[in-house]
Chain A
Amino acid sequence: MRHRMAAAMLSMLGLLVSAYLLLYKLGIVGELACGSGGSCERVQASKWAVLFGIPIAAYGVGGYLALLVVALAGLEGRWAEHPGPTRLLVALSAIGVAFAAYLTFLEVALIRDLCRWCVVSAVLITAILAVSVAGLRSPGTPPAT
């Protein structure tokens, strides 16, 4: 179940990054800690930072929260030995990776600026997919309770 622990850790980090970007988008965080150049602000201020009226970062918060819940549930009780949580982690993170790839394309091709926190998030979701796929291949041992 180590892969589920790793997925939970990575999901927690992703949740924090997304929450940070969401708070910025909502005007609660004044400036992003993103180095010089304002690249994060430019990306976050672009029209592509909102989808269907909802900030992209909110989708990130929801997605990482779902991944975290699934990963933690997969450590408990009967779910610890069930392959379902790992499969769900793979499915959710695969969607996340596709979404992150689309957003990265927007940054590179249209906005022409890279938001470092967005890159961090893309790396995290890719890592979650990687550990989840690894978990499918090696079910591991359930934790004792």
Chain B
Amino acid sequence: MAAGRPVRSFYLALGVIAIAGVALIAGQVARRPATGSVAETLASVPLTPVASGGAVGHQLGSDSAPVEIAVFSDFSCPHCANFEILDFPLVRDRLIPTGRLRWRFVDFPLEGRANSPVAHLSAACAGEQGRFWEMMGAILNRQGEWVEDRRAERRLRGYAEGLGLDVTRFADCMDTGRAQAVVDAGAAEGRRLGVNATPTFFVNGRQWPDVLGYDQIRAIVDSLAPVGGAPRGAPAGAAGPSAPPRR
């Protein structure tokens, strides 16, 4: 049987597929994000600097980082949990360690969310022990457990215990509400800036018009603080691209 030709045709077709596929991927690699749009977007929104210097919220990253992104977040907000689960791990592991990005989380519990206040207080109490970020991760990753639970505080205390916090100190903080000032300061700052939805992002003091994801944040950092180069001409302070803040 003359099967030699079909086999040769098969290898030819396989080769064509391989070459076409590699060419398509190479085309994608060559296409760089339009980072120029970052500067344009930032220039289009007013500069409204978020209080910094440790005055508001919780900071992660170097004080000298050229880009600061502040996120006003409500622990009951599903989009905030989505960001924590999907995007923040990459921001924390890939961008912040480069020294180009400083991250600031600002408490902004929305009205009408019954369990938000106690969740934010519990994170602030964990912050007293230097464990805010771990507690925030537990709260947002397990949002579905406590957000409508009548005994939410009990669950939150369980998270603290699970993280190995000093439970006596944590309970005292929760009972006395002494860390509430941290939450209130964030909420007040958000109101001053006109924040009315979460998550809302500020990049170097300018409110970004959309919700940010990791790709956009990376594009912003690359645009404002390129590796081994001078920042592109964007106004001091600004944010990156995404979808409108959603509650």
Per-position binary interface string of chain A over residues 17-31, scored 1 when its CB falls under 8 Å from any chain B CB and 0 otherwise: 001100100011111
Q: Are B213 and A41 in contact (CB under 8 A)?
A: yes
Residues of B within 8 A of A16 (CB): 17-18, 21-22, 24-25
B90 partner, pick from A9, A45, A145, beta carbons under 8 A: A45
Residues of B within 8 A of A30 (CB): 28-29, 31-33, 215
For chain B, the count of residues having a C-beta within 8 Å of the partner chain is 31
Q: Are B25 and A23 in contact (CB under 8 A)?
A: yes
Q: Are A46 and B17 in contact (CB under 8 A)?
A: no
Residues of B within 8 A of A111 (CB): 85-86
**In the bound complex, CA of A29 to CA of B29 (Å):** 5
Q: Are A143 and B4 in contact (CB under 8 A)?
A: yes
Q: Are B215 and A31 in contact (CB under 8 A)?
A: yes
Q: Are A28 and B29 in contact (CB under 8 A)?
A: yes
Which of A19, A20, A143 has the most chain B CB within a 10 Å cutoff?
A143
Which of B5-13, B120-128, B165-173 forms contacts with chain A?
B5-13
CB interface residues, A 32-77, toward B, < 8 Å: 33, 38, 41-42, 45-47, 75
Q: Are A47 and B213 in contact (CB under 8 A)?
A: no
Known: A12-B21, A42-B86, A45-B90. A144 touches B213 (CB 8 A): no
Q: Are A13 and B21 in contact (CB under 8 A)?
A: yes
Q: Is B3 an interface residue (CB 8 A)?
A: yes
Q: Are B1 and A141 in contact (CB under 8 A)?
A: yes
Q: Are A144 and B3 in contact (CB under 8 A)?
A: yes
**In the bound complex, CA of A36 to CA of B152 (Å):** 37
**In the bound complex, CA of A123 to CA of B92 (Å):** 33
Q: Is A8 an interface residue (CB 8 A)?
A: yes
> Nearest residue in A to B10 (C-beta to C-beta)?
A5
> Nearest residue in B to A112 (C-beta to C-beta)?
B82
Known: A30-B31, A75-B7. A20 touches B25 (CB 8 A): yes
B87 partner, pick from A20, A45, A142, A145, beta carbons under 8 A: A45
**In the bound complex, CA of A38 to CA of B13 (Å):** 33
**In the bound complex, CA of A143 to CA of B3 (Å):** 5
Residues of B within 8 A of A145 (CB): 4, 7
Q: Are A45 and B29 in contact (CB under 8 A)?
A: no
Residues of B within 8 A of A46 (CB): 85-86
CB interface residues, B 222-247, toward A, < 8 Å: none
Q: Are A47 and B89 in contact (CB under 8 A)?
A: yes
**In the bound complex, CA of A23 to CA of B94 (Å):** 15
Residues of A participating in the B interface, judged by any CB pair closer than 8 Å: 5, 8-9, 12-13, 16, 19-20, 23, 27-31, 33, 38, 41-42, 45-47, 75, 111, 141-145
8 smallest A-B Cβ distances: which pairs? A16-B21, A143-B3, A144-B3, A143-B7, A30-B33, A5-B10, A46-B86, A45-B214
13 A-B residue contacts at CB 8 Å? Answer: A9-B13, A9-B17, A16-B17, A16-B22, A20-B25, A20-B28, A42-B87, A42-B213, A45-B213, A45-B215, A47-B89, A144-B7, A145-B7
